[in-house]
Amino acid sequence: MKKTILFIAISLQISTTFAQSILKAKGQGQTYELINSVLAPNGDVIETPDCSHQSFGRHIDEVFDNELKAYVFRFYIHKTPDNDRCINFDRQRNEIKTYDASPDSLKALVGERVEYRWKFKLDAGFQASSSFTHLHQIKAVGGTEDDMPLITLTARKGTPDKLEIRFAEHLNQVTIHQVDLTPFKGNWVEVTEIITYGETGKYSIEIKKVSDQTSLLSYKNESIRMWKTEANFLRPKWGIYRSLNNIDDLRDEILFFNDFYIKELTPNTSINSLENEKSNLRFYPNPVSDYLYFANNQMDTFNEFTISTIEGKELFSDKISGQKFIDVSALEHGIYFIFFKKKNVLVGRNKIVKI
């Protein structure tokens, strides 16, 4: 009986938060290595202007912040000679991201509801370009619209300067919300962004001052296209990416970031929110010791699967090529999640117990 009660408690706990990634500065001097270890353990998520400014060294490091009482990430961008990775010379980029080499739990698919949360601080004298100074983007990987970000948080010079939310349903970008940038300068703020991904999706964002939780920006849309045509997945970017078209607007800048969260809010039981047969994937036995079996009429519903830990760490993926089972005998005893996809679109997910 005690084992049964324990299992129920674990199930209730993990059903509310599907996967979570946390990136915090540690101040140990291996900043690029730390960022990669979380966002892409076998890849490189750093997009800096180091190549054009080697004498300066790394353009992201860590420093102790007295207000937060913690180490934070410090992003540098210089008016000159920094550029965009020695590829584009009319703009400058110092960003981190998730991408193809990142764990599946950090890539957004159709039907997923994901929370992104982070802190950032602009200098009190921060100067924005009149063209664009991006601080955050949600972008597609793959498809015909991956050059145009879905969502962009950008600062823009004006009277007064503005912080804008830019949205591109397809290839044309528009401003859907904007606020005065002045209250952001010199203050640590925390961003909470929640996206339900799909052709008919949802989007919300709120930015609050860390010191007193004053809301500086709030926007919500309950019916908005949160996808890009033929995309493999969508992913976030953070940092500074600014135009050099009006270079006299700019100066050397230092931006601070910390406490990055990527958390899938869709609980394991929410497959019912997916349409038709996508909510009816069934397999047996569960708990399982060796093989998971599927009904014949479900084998064409998906062509790929991924198994991850309850913390969101991907263990392995494979294609389905006609077999009616998945071999899980190599897994250690415990609780796991299994994702089912067809043509890179999530069609189901379930919890499995390995015994």
pLDDT per position as a tens digit, 203-259: 999 999 999 999 999 999 999 999 999 898 999 999 999 999 999 999 999 999 999
What's the fold here for domain 271-354?
Answer: Immunoglobulin-like (2.60.40)
Tokens matching residue 209: 């001052």
Q: Which portions of the chain are predicted below pLDDT 70?
A: 1-19, 266-281, 295-300, 310-312, 321-323, 344
Place of tokens 């503005």: 162
Q: What is the pLDDT of residues 262-287, one digit of tens each?
A: 998 854 333 333 333 333 567 788 88
Q: CA 22 → CA 143, 146, 242, 258, 262, distances in Å?
A: 28, 26, 26, 10, 7
Burial of 52 (0-12, 13-18, 19+ CB in 10 A): middle
What pLDDT score was predicted for residue 286? Answer: 81
What pLDDT score was predicted for residue 315? Answer: 82
CA-based nearest residue to 230, from 73, 354, 345: 345
Residue boundaries of the structural domains of the chain: 12-264, 271-354
Q: Are 231 and 149 in contact (CB under 8 A)?
A: no
Task: Give the number of residues written for the chain.
Answer: 355
Helix (H, G, I), strand (E, B) or coil at 9: helix
β-sheet bridge partners, residue 55:
none
What pLDDT score was predicted for residue 58? Answer: 97
- Domain spanning 12-264: CATH 2.60.120.200: yes
Tokens matching residue 213: 């939780």
* 271-354 and 12-264 share a CATH fold: no
Secondary structure of the chain: what % helix, strand, coil (to 5)? 15, 50, 40
